Amino acid sequence: MGIATELEFDLVSVPNLWAGLLLWPVEHADDLLRRWAAMVPGIPQTVTSTIATLQLPPQGPFPDELRGRPVVHLSYASVDGEKPLTALREALGTVARPTVDTTGPADATRLAQIHLDPSVRVPARGIGQWLTADGARAVPQLFEAALVGQPDGMVMVELRHVATTAVARSGARSTVAGPFLLLGVGIGDRAHLSGTQAALRRVERAAESVGTGLDTPSFREGQPDAGRADLALSARVADISERLDPHHAFRLQRDQGVPNG
C-alpha cells in the first residue's frame, strides 16, 4: 500500500471551447459514414471528432423516435470556437438533418457528456485498435461487421480521428500510434457473451487491412490481456515505473505486454 503525497498537473486555458453531439436514425448510416470519411482529411487540427453507431437505451434524454434504437452518433469538439466545426456539421447535414444537435459553447462538464458513456457500470467486452490513414475509407465495412442493434451484434462501434502534428512532451506515453482509433463494445454478461465475442472478432478481421498492428489496452474491456502492445513503449512505462516505484506499491491495471515487477 502506498500514499501519494504530491500530484502535479499542467492546466491549459481553452477560452473558446465548442462541442456537441449529433444523432441520426441508423437508416442514414452508410451515407453519413462515407461523408464523414471524406471530410476528415480537411478538418483543422483544432477539431477532434468521433463517428459511431450505437444502440440507445429505451430510457434517457432522447427523442421518443430514437429511444431503444440504433443511431448514428457524431461527437466533436473545437478549441477554436464554432467556425472550425461548421464545415463538418453542414456536410453531414446535407445527407440528413440530425434529430439531435447540441453544438454550442462548452465547458469541461459538457465536453464529458457528448460521448454518451453510460452513467453506471455495465458488464462489457471491448476492443481497441490503432488504424492507419486508410481507416477512414474502411469505416462502412468496419461498422457493418459490428451489426449494432441486431441479434448477436455489438452495442457500439466507433472511429475516433486523433491525427495531430502537435509536438508532444517526452512523457511515458505522449504520442498516438495512428491517426484513427477503432473502438467496439458489446454486452459482456453470460447470455450475450458468445455473440459479443463473435462480433468483436468480425470487426477485428474487417480492420486487418487498415490496422497498424497495435491494440489499445485501456479499451479492451473484459479481455484477459493487453492485446498487441507496442513493446518499446511498454518497456519504457515499465522502466519508469521501476525507477519511480521500486517497491511496487502501485501496479498497472492491465498487463502492458512486459513484466510489471
pLDDT digits (tens, 9 = 90+) for 42-62: 999 899 999 999 999 998 889
- pLDDT above 70 covers a percentage of the chain that reads 88
Question: What pLDDT, on a 0 to 100 scale, did the predictor assign at position 166?
Answer: 67
- In terms of residue numbers, what domain contains 184? 119-133+156-228
Same domain for 126 and 209: yes
Question: What pLDDT, on a 0 to 100 scale, did the predictor assign at position 203?
Answer: 93
> For residues 131 and 216, is the Cβ–Cβ distance under 8 A?
no
How much is the average pLDDT of 236-260?
69
The answer to whether residue 176 sits within a structural domain is yes
pLDDT exceeds 80 at position 206? yes
Q: What is the per-residue burial (b if ≥16 Cβ within 10 Å, else e) of 59-73? A: eeebeeebeeebbbb
3-class SS shares of the chain: helix, strand, coil, % to 5: 30, 20, 50
> What's the structural domain count of the chain?
3
Residue that wins the pLDDT comparison between 118 and 205: 205
> For residues 196 and 185, is the Cβ–Cβ distance under 8 A?
no
Query: What pairs with residue 25 in β-bridges?
Result: 71
- Alpha-carbon distance 184 to 196, whole Å? 10
- pLDDT band per the 50, 70, 90 thresholds, residue 123: confident
Choosing from 55, 90, 117, the residue where a domain stops is 117
Question: What pLDDT, on a 0 to 100 scale, did the predictor assign at position 87?
Answer: 95
Joined together, the cell numbers standing for residue 191 give: 447470455
The answer to whether residue 91 sits within a structural domain is yes
The answer to whether residue 144 sits within a structural domain is no
| Residue among 55, 176, 173 nearest 118 (CA) | 55
pLDDT exceeds 50 at position 258? no
> For residues 135 and 33, is the Cβ–Cβ distance under 8 A?
no
The answer to whether residue 32 sits within a structural domain is yes
Query: pTM, whole model, 2 decimals?
Result: 0.85
Question: What pLDDT, on a 0 to 100 scale, did the predictor assign at position 260?
Answer: 40
Residue that wins the pLDDT comparison between 235 and 90: 90
**11: helix, coil or strand?**
coil
| Residue among 131, 136, 153 nearest 207 (CA) | 131
Query: What pairs with residue 182 in β-bridges?
Result: 129, 159
Same domain for 177 and 235: no
pLDDT exceeds 50 at position 210? yes
How much is the average pLDDT of 241-256?
72
pLDDT exceeds 60 at position 256? no
